[in-house]
Every structure is written in structure tokens, then in C-alpha cells.
A and B are shown apart, each in its own frame.
Chain A
């Protein structure tokens, strides 16, 4: 049985407006049959027609569309859950801290091996400290397809560490941001910066909350701001 496509399907496949499809049908430029005033396109005929004209047919536009949809706030919550919270992480030096981060986070082998170095590299470029004892370390190039979803790992430091932050305060908590693509990266970074600069957030973090508490707090803040 051959599959029949509707005008809406063809709009999706060819990426042209509906009116254009109807014009092509009228001009006889596209193979089509009309039954009860509705237009139908035979799939295999359409495919070979497109091939003869060197036209690309889009299998699914869904994946492409996802890229341009702004990251909703729940993405950050998802990323936090995926990244998990770690308490009292040894932090005598930056190197030691980042090694610890790479080991604790649930990552593919390849990333675990290079993560500490990548984070150090970014830190040498400029500090990721955003003030009030908080830092958001991240690799300077997004990990892209190597990870399936963006994650934010929360690490409370055993001993506060100097991150050369603009306000000079030693850092006691870091949010390691690993983003799956560059579009998400900027959005997540922006949301984090906004959340963390929120009043009372600093006091809350000082108590080294668990993952559930943290997620809860983020969601409440979210509700207040919107």
C-alpha cells in the first residue's frame, strides 16, 4: 500500500507555504490527485519527483525546531536534578576541586578524563566567580553531542577557595554547568546568574541544602518572579 500525503504534510516536507503548493498543483508542476475536492500526494511519487528536481525533503522538522525554542525555566530544574548536589567537597586547590568534580559527576568516560583540564583552562581565561562566594565553572566550549542533556552539578566546598572573583570573596559553592548545546548554554547561564543574585539566596545556600531543598527553593523563586 502506498502512503498518501495531505497538503499539510507536503508543506512540512518541502518547507514552502500552503498557497505555493496549491499554485504548483494548478500549474501542474507537482504530481497530485484530487478526490472530493481534497488534494492527495502519493508518497513514493513525490519522493521520486523531488529527487528528479534535486529537492531535499525534510523527514522531521521537530528536531530543528527544538533548537530555537527558548529554554523554559523547568530546563534549569531538570539540569540541577541531572547534575545532583555534593556536600563537603575537598577543596585545597582549584586543581583538586575540579578533579573531584570530574570524578563525582555522572559523565561518559571521555569527558571525565578531560573535564578538570577544561574547567581550569576556562578559569585561566577569566574568573567564573560571580560574587558573594558563588562561582559557575564551565568548559569554554560546549560539550555538545557528547552529553544527552544539559546538567548543573552543585558542589559545596569543604573550605572556601579564592576564585579571583570580582568582589574578592572566597567561594563556598560552585555550580558546574555542562550544556548540551550553545543555545542552551547562554540561556542556562543567564537564568542561573539571575537566580543566584536574588536576595536571600545567599543565606539559603550558606546552609548547604540538599538537592530536594535546592530544587524546592529554585521553584519557589521561580513562582515569585513570574
Chain B
């Protein structure tokens, strides 16, 4: 596992640096062309070609990256296919490089995940190990692209793997460290945002709570606006790459008026953090608004990219504006605006991704300073609390939770998900015909091992079940022997069909209040599922899976 983690880390580092470098070169090339108003067509061109490539040539879907990886952790690593490595690489290169307002982190995380999954398959590993490799890949990808090993580790453990055990921590660290080292060897040890922040006063710390709440609310709005744009574009019944082109064109128009919203936007954040060139408050607010819009359109129209970078950039804008407004108030000892911009970034990441630790460590490492730790902690955690009060999951997991496909290992749902109805059917019972008389039933009953008897009609369909408890009081009333047919004393029960999940079957147990229910495939009766057998298997599964 260590070697695999090392290999994944190295490759992720190279890919992350490569993607970052290619995108910046492309951006530079386009800006140097200096086409004036004609530049509005570039995002459209990029997004159109990206979707065409991804869909038609590589037969992949353009997901949000991180949600695919999280889904893979829950449902099985085969969700991440090898072609994702290329499709996400070139898709995001074109989308972001041409000016699409989104980030590279989502795609690079899914690339890392797909890499891990591919390696696991190649080495013929078991599912559990394959999933861990996916997590190592995600750690390497984040560490490589941000030049931030701790963030890679925390992101992977907090958001992707979700499990802190000896099996996860050391290899994840190896992947994160090796990816960072590779990235530093190629690009040099660059710190994303250089910022020295002096001590924070208590008043400023308290203000961080408010900033946290604010970013929490904005992160909810951000996540919802993404969904709305997605819904809006899915209603346009045109070919996907045309949709992307339309989206790209609208982003291009926005970018014509404010070029800062295009692409990742880190350079703008850098400006926000520098004291010397301080933008106007109005500009900052407008920037946040337009970035919000442009990112929603880019992702909603199908652009390949993530929400990591937009969250950071929007967060810095919100934080800066917050700081500026605070300075307008008659207060003493308020910290610098830039400090609030940093705190806003952490808050936004925490709110959007439901990962406060990731937000804290990312900003800390990106600024290479420990001095901000207190405001970061307060902002990120309060943003997380506000955001999770209104939303059940992060921007990544919300859809999965709604589909019911976010299932964590060791939970009730996970155990049930892995029990197969066919394997635990009871078959040692006696079936009876519905027009069998009580007299003849007595003979059958002598041979029975179970206290229930499924009743079949002439077409061999299960029409009900006779429970011994129901007829026991009358078994010795001989005058009833020829009067009672089994069809008239059976209970008609809900049937469980073979392909339904066990959780649905359990719901039927709860409503019908019996211990055994018939299982059918189409009209064919297969056997009975009993709660006691189910419990046996459930416990065995729990014993195997518990840590």
C-alpha cells in the first residue's frame, strides 16, 4: 500500500503541475492575443470543444469531479473509469484555459481518484484497498495542485475517505508528501498567497463568527444556484456541446466587462490580499456577484471543472468586503481587510464542502503562516455549522444523499446494501394450495419444520401465507375440518421482489408485523425471507466489517 501510495502521489503531482501549467500557458496565450471584444467567444469555443471531446470522443460524463470520487467510495471504485484521467485532464484544460469560470481542483481530484482506481484494478486488489487507493489519489491531487501536503491529507481523510485509522493515515501522508515534493521539484516551492498577518484582537475574533455565518449562508446560496443553473440548462433540449457553447458565450460576455471573473481567479484573490493595490468596495461586491453568476453558468452548462477554486475566490471577495465594511464602522482595533479575506476563504470552503478542517489547513498552508489559525478556525467552524443547519450534505454529497447512494462502510445501510436476498432465503417450508381443506392440512402440518405455510394458487403464484399461530386454537375442532379452506385463513402479505433493496423489504416487515414474507421474482415464488435469518446474516456481516 505504501508503494502504491508513493506511485500515485508522484503521478498525481506531475499531473497536477502539468494541468496547472498548461492552463496558465493557454490563458497567457489568449490574453496576449489581445482580441478586444472578440475574446468573448473564447470561453464558448473552449467549453464547446471540451464537451465535444469528453462526450463524443472519450464517452465520459462531465461530473463535478469530487462527487464522483465520493460516490466511488460509497458504491464501488468502478464508478471511476480509466478514461476519466484523460477526459477530465483535457476537458478542464480547455474549459478553464479558455476562460471558463471554474476550478481545476475538482477535475484533478477525480483524475487522482481514477488513477488510484486504475492502479488498484491493475494490481488486482480487493475493493477495500481499491477505495483506499482512490483516497490516496485524491490526497495527492490536492497536495500537488495547491503545493499543500497537509491540506491534501486532511481533504482526503475528511471529505473522501472519512475514516481515521492506521490503514488510512500513513499511506495518505505518503501520497500527499510525494505529490507535493514532485510539484516543488518542478515548479519550485511557491507559496500561493504571501501574507503576513499581525495578531488578531478579541473584537476581530468575535467578528469572525459573523463572517463565518455570512460565508455559511453564501455557500448555501452558491450551492443552490449551481443546482438551479443545472436545472435551467437541462431544460434546453439541444446537444450537450451546444449548451456548453451557449454557457461559454454568456461567461465570455460577462468576462468582457470584468475579465477578473474568468478562469480560476486566483490572481484576483492575490490582488485582494495585497495591501498596496486595494480595490473599491463596490468593485469587490460586483466581482463576487459576477463570479457567482459566471461559475454557475459555466458548471450548469456542463463545463468541466470544480467548485473548489470558485469557493476560495468568492470567499476572499466576501471576506474582503466584510473587512472593508467593518472598517467603515467606528470600531477600534479591527484587523486588516486581507485577514478577513483569508478567513472568508476558509469559511466558504468549509460551508460549500462541509469540510472545516480542509478550509482551515488550506488557507493556512496557502499563506504559509500559522498566525491566522485562530480566526480561520472560528470562521470555518461557524460557516460549517450554519451551512449544515440548512443543508443535509455538502455540494458534493447532497445529490448522492437524495439518491440514497451515499452509504458509509460499517453503517446499517451499508450492511443491508451488501446482503443479497437470494442468499438468505428460507426454503425448508411446505407450500400448500389455496383450496386445501383443514383436514388435509393437518397431514401436511405434521411434516412441517416451520410455523408458516406459503399458499400458492394454480399458477404457482404466492397469494398469501398461513400462520400456525392464527389457526392453532381451532386445529382440534374436528367439525371445522371440512369447512375451512386454507385460502380463507391465510393472510395476504406484501411480497418482496428479488431486485428490491433489503431496506425496502425491512420496511415491509415493519408495516406488516410478521416475521416472514414471501419473495417473488416477477410472478414466480422463490421462498421466504425471515427476520431471524436476516438477523443472523446481518450480525455475521457486522462482525466481519467492524474495525
Contacts and interface: CB of A to CB of B under 8 A. Distances in A.
Given A140-B485, A166-B482, A182-B489, A193 B507 contact: no
Interface stretch (A4-12, A27-35, A123-131, A215-223): A123-131
Contacts of B446: none
A165 to B, nearest CB: 10
A144 interface: yes
B495 to A, nearest CB: 16
Contacts of A202: none
B499 interface: no
Interface in A104-129: 122, 125-128
Nearest to A179: B488
B489 A185 contact: yes
Given A54-B503, A126-B482, 16 more contacts: A56-B510, A127-B482, A130-B479, A136-B483, A140-B434, A179-B488, A185-B488, A186-B470, A186-B474, A186-B484, A186-B488, A189-B483, A190-B473, A190-B474, A193-B483, A194-B477
B480 interface: yes
Nearest to B437: A126
Nearest to B509: A56
A56 B507 contact: yes
A54 B412 CA distance: 9
A45 interface: no
A64 B509 CA distance: 13
Contacts of B82: none
30 contacts: A54-B503, A56-B507, A56-B510, A56-B511, A125-B435, A125-B485, A127-B482, A130-B479, A130-B483, A140-B485, A140-B487, A141-B434, A142-B487, A142-B488, A182-B470, A182-B492, A183-B491, A185-B488, A186-B471, A189-B480, A189-B484, A190-B473, A190-B474, A190-B477, A190-B480, A193-B479, A193-B480, A193-B483, A194-B477, A197-B479
B214 interface: no
Contacts of B492: 144, 182
A114 to B, nearest CB: 15
Nearest to A183: B470
B413 interface: yes
Nearest to B464: A182
B402 to A, nearest CB: 13
A160 interface: no
Interface in A124-157: 125-128, 130, 136, 138-142, 144
Contacts of A130: 479, 483
Q: Which 10 A-B pairs give the minimum distances between C-beta atoms? A: A141-B487, A56-B510, A140-B485, A193-B479, A182-B489, A140-B487, A186-B489, A185-B488, A142-B488, A125-B435
B293 interface: no
A110 B485 CA distance: 23
Interface string B277-307: 0000000000000000000000000000000
B494 to A, nearest CB: 14
B410 to A, nearest CB: 15
A179 B485 CA distance: 13
